[in-house]
A and B are shown apart, each in its own frame.
Chain A
């Protein structure tokens, strides 16, 4: 009797676990399927490279793709060095109950939970108005950098903390300076975490809409400088779907490009992290 009820319990838990996993896979596949179903017909090389026409109903997404690349590029170029530096400071230079370290960690946790529209307003007030950068790709990139910094810092800090203390002791016992220890020994070991954090940040930056509406603007012309306004992919999707009658097919195609890019980034980053891990952490 007891074994029978145990058996049923076991079976139920197996079903629940499998069921939830299948549900997740299905929701992703149905989303991707929907995008492919509605957007595939529009997708072509000329769509990817040509400029939009007739408010985006026709033509392609060339300038938008370039603007997105520039915004995300600026975001990562700013966020990566600052994020890495802060993560190293938190993991290696503040121990236990270090007051300043706690203050920074607390602020980062709050920042990570701030809605992106609030970052948009902040970016508009600081970069567009106070610093006089106006609606520009530069303002958008800087705003996104503020938004992804908490993600990059916390994941990188965690990966530094995950390195065993033995490595630090060994380095210190050889008389290595702190900068050598961090730069030559801890950084390679923390690289997979840094990659994962950058990927998360990059993905979030790429798909961001709300923070960019107020900072990089709407203009869908080919950008000529970083101080030009530029429309990001997600804003283009939003605009076509909400404000342009008959814009849905191109909105789907744009969404397909965006999701495709995110998938490529995802796969290449996990491939790199895996390669790095097998290179550096072979079983002993």
Chain B
């Protein structure tokens, strides 16, 4: 993503923001991700009523890396993603067992503060879901809800975040227009901005490009790559080429004998070039899935 030279407007915005310690959208990006565990799932199983959606997943997700979850539809990738910010709580009859650690936080503990957890974990869905009001209010509402920043800084934060997702030039003259008037790709970038404005540590992306045209999809993909090092990104994708282009690590989910499970995980290079499991080899060669 090409980040244009900061406009005088943006410089002014950043000056206003310099007093806010906790909000740094332009943290110096590390060149690559670190081999430090950010999220650790141990023996994680997810079930809906009597049906098991995912069984015995052991997976480590590294800080600042892009981890792609790949595999055919209905093999538990989205369920796994939704357990990371406990959205599974919203689904009637859904049970999650095992251990899920995010830094020091025990995600699955009943005492976990969900609002705090979800502040740290942003999520983007397959279909862009802008809220039914103006473009500006879409970003103001999360700021208002979490109330950590004074209202005078909001305009600057909104501008900076829109700059970060490359949307500012497209929306700066129409901030008070309904967000639904934006195109699909713009809406998805708005959703990304809405998640980023809370400066989360983790970003969950559930097939963020699948409902978009190739050009918008390319823009979103470049954006996600630009986030490497600053956020821990977990992306569900059906597009193997996309996973190969973007991901540092890849995890393959598959349904074996009707049981959804994690088949193989590793760095993108090792998984694509020398897969250990025969299903992985068949999947990446296009013979299966």
Q: Which residues from chain A sit less than 8 Å from chain B, CB to CB?
A: 95-96, 164, 166-177, 180, 184-185, 188-189, 279-284
Contacts and interface: CB of A to CB of B under 8 A. Distances in A.
A172 B87 contact: yes
Interface string B116-153: 11110111010111011100000001100110000000
A170 B142 contact: no
B198 interface: yes
Given A166-B125, A184-B141, A174 B194 contact: yes
Contact of A279 (B114, B146, B178): B178
A271 B209 CA distance: 37
Nearest to B93: A96
Given A172-B90, A284-B182, 4 more contacts: A96-B92, A170-B123, A170-B131, A173-B125
B260 interface: no
A168 B181 contact: no
Contact of A172 (B92, B118, B180, B204): B118
Nearest to B142: A174
B97 interface: no
B115 interface: yes
Interface stretch (B159-167, B183-191, B249-257): B183-191
Nearest to B195: A174
Interface string B172-210: 000000101111100100010011001000001000000
A180 B194 CA distance: 16
Contact of B125 (A170, A176, A189, A283): A170
Interface string B76-117: 000000000101001010000000000000000000001111
Contact of B178 (A164, A174, A280): A280
A63 B119 CA distance: 58
A174 B129 contact: no
B217 to A, nearest CB: 15
A173 B191 CA distance: 11
Nearest to B90: A172
Contact of B132 (A175, A177, A280): A280
A167 B131 contact: yes
Contacts of A283: 180
28 contacts: A95-B92, A96-B92, A164-B129, A167-B129, A167-B131, A169-B125, A169-B129, A170-B129, A170-B191, A173-B121, A173-B123, A174-B122, A174-B142, A174-B198, A175-B115, A175-B116, A176-B142, A177-B145, A180-B141, A184-B131, A185-B132, A280-B132, A281-B180, A282-B181, A284-B128, A284-B180, A284-B183, A284-B187
A279 B181 CA distance: 9
Given A172-B118, A174-B118, A174-B145, A188 B133 contact: yes
A282 B194 contact: no
Contacts of A95: 92
Question: Contact size class for B?
Answer: 35 or more
A173 B87 contact: yes
Nearest to A189: B132
B119 A175 contact: yes
A284 B182 CA distance: 6
Given A167-B129, A189-B132, A281-B132, A175 B198 contact: yes
A166 B195 contact: no
Contacts of B121: 173
Pairs A-B, 4 closest by C-beta atoms: A175-B118, A173-B123, A170-B129, A280-B132
Given A174-B194, A177-B115, A284-B183, A185 B131 contact: yes
Contacts of B145: 174-177, 180
Contacts of A164: 129
A169 B146 contact: no
Contacts of B204: 173
A128 to B, nearest CB: 44
A69 to B, nearest CB: 33
Contacts of B142: 174-176
B92 A175 contact: no
A174 B127 CA distance: 16
Contact of B122 (A96, A169, A173, A284): A173
Contacts of A188: 132-133
A171 B123 CA distance: 10
A174 to B, nearest CB: 5
Interface in B18-34: none
Interface in B209-264: none
Quick one: which of A164, A167, A176, A185 has the most chain B CB within 10 A?
A176
A169 B87 contact: yes
Contacts of B92: 95-96
B95 to A, nearest CB: 15
A96 B94 CA distance: 13
Contacts of A172: 87, 90, 118
Contacts of A175: 114-119, 142, 145-146, 198
Contacts of A282: 178, 180-181
A73 B184 CA distance: 44
A184 B122 CA distance: 19
